[in-house]
Structure 1
Amino acid sequence: MSINHPPIVLEPFIVLAAANRAVNQAAHNRLSTRSLAAELVYSLSPSRNISDSLVTFGIADTSKNIIVCIFDDKDGSKMKKLAKEIDGRPESLEKLSGIMDIRLIQKIYQLGEPKFNEDSISDRVLSRIITKDFMS
């Protein structure tokens, strides 16, 4: 299970890409963190600094909105158990665009002007996530 800070998550596909990266790292015994949940949070970040990634993309006591990601929950039992612990109500991921902070996303991912008119913010965020392992 991983709990993330939604104002800096552009869209569900970004979370899915980060989850895929985390599962792939775990499958090849190459986790940079100590757990699959932490690896997902780390995978969302453009930074190679694990502590900074967890602080930026994890939740805090002041978080009003959260995204919950659960791995290996075919029957939904983990989600049901966790839902009892959360003081709030579930919302559709389609509402994510209403709480995201595009300026903060651009700042965190250091997104300047697009190089090509076709470049979407989503494409540029994904590029930053994917290339962090190759960039210093």
Structure 2
Amino acid sequence: MAAKVIANELFPDSTITLALFRNVENVKEIRQCVMNGTFEAAILKTSMIVDPFQVIVAANKAVHQNKVGKMMTKNVHSEILFNLSPSKNISDSFRKFGAGDTDQSVFIAVIDDKTGQTLQAIQNTVKGQQVDVDEVKQLSDLNNIKKIYKLTDAELSWSPLDALVTRIAAKDIMTI
């Protein structure tokens, strides 16, 4: 299954590559590769993602923050994790939105992988099945998302994606 590459509308020279892996046996190894700099990527907890668009919004915001020198974290990929979270606490954001060692699925976001080498290295490392990124909807934990984002029942029943995207966009001006 091919990854999805999206052009960044705000910065046309920038791209966002998304990939989803299920039945992953080595999340701990993948996380280590990100932490030690072998891969430059965001390794996300699939249960906290309702739609790939949620990650695209967080990634666009991370690229913008990087370009204007306003990042809160060390790199653009960790900024994606931070942007997904309603919290302004970086370690809390990583814990809740970064893939855990025992997770069996991971959602990958890579900024500016023009040659495809980063994704290829990840694909070669992951012991699991790459599937269409839209399958992430099946892996969402709406109860946990509701709790962490403090969503109302009305927001959940109407459009959780709209509620989450609004919170990501407005994070800098409000705290949940």
Q: TM-score range by the shorter chain?
A: over 0.9
Residue type of the alignment partner of 1:127: T
Deviation at 1:113, TM superposition (A): 3.2
Deviation at 1:114, TM superposition (A): 2.9
Residue type of the alignment partner of 1:123: D
Identity %: 32
RMSD: 1.5
Quote the Cα distance in structure 2 between the aligned partners of 1:99 and 1:134.
Answer: 30
SS of the residue 1:75 aligns to? coil
User: Unmatched 5+ residue regions in structure 2?
Assistant: 1-40
The alignment's TM-score, normalised by the length of structure 2, stands at: 0.72
The answer to whether structure 1 residue 10 and structure 2 residue 34 are counterparts is no
* 1:61 pairs with one of 101, 106, 110: 101
The answer to whether structure 1 residue 94 and structure 2 residue 134 are counterparts is yes
Q: Name 1:120's counterpart in structure 2.
A: 159
SS of the residue 2:129 aligns to? coil
Q: Name 1:135's counterpart in structure 2.
A: 174
Any runs of at least 4 consecutive aligned residues in structure 1 with deviations exceeding 3 A, and if so which? none
User: What are the Cα deviations for residues 66-98 of structure 1, in whole angstroms up to 9, with x where unaligned?
Assistant: 001111112212111121111112111121121
Equivalent positions of 1:103-114 (< 5 A) are 103-114=143-154
Residue type of the alignment partner of 2:62: A
Residue type of the alignment partner of 1:24: H
The alignment's TM-score, normalised by the length of structure 1, stands at: 0.92
Judging by fraction of residues, say which structure has more strand.
Answer: 2
Residue type of the alignment partner of 2:170: T
Quote the Cα distance in structure 1 between the aligned partners of 2:138 and 2:122.
Answer: 24
Deviates more, 1:39-48 or 1:80-89: 80-89
Residue type of the alignment partner of 2:44: N
Aligned residues: 134
The answer to whether structure 1 residue 79 and structure 2 residue 119 are counterparts is yes
Residue type of the alignment partner of 1:59: A
The answer to whether structure 1 residue 41 and structure 2 residue 81 are counterparts is yes
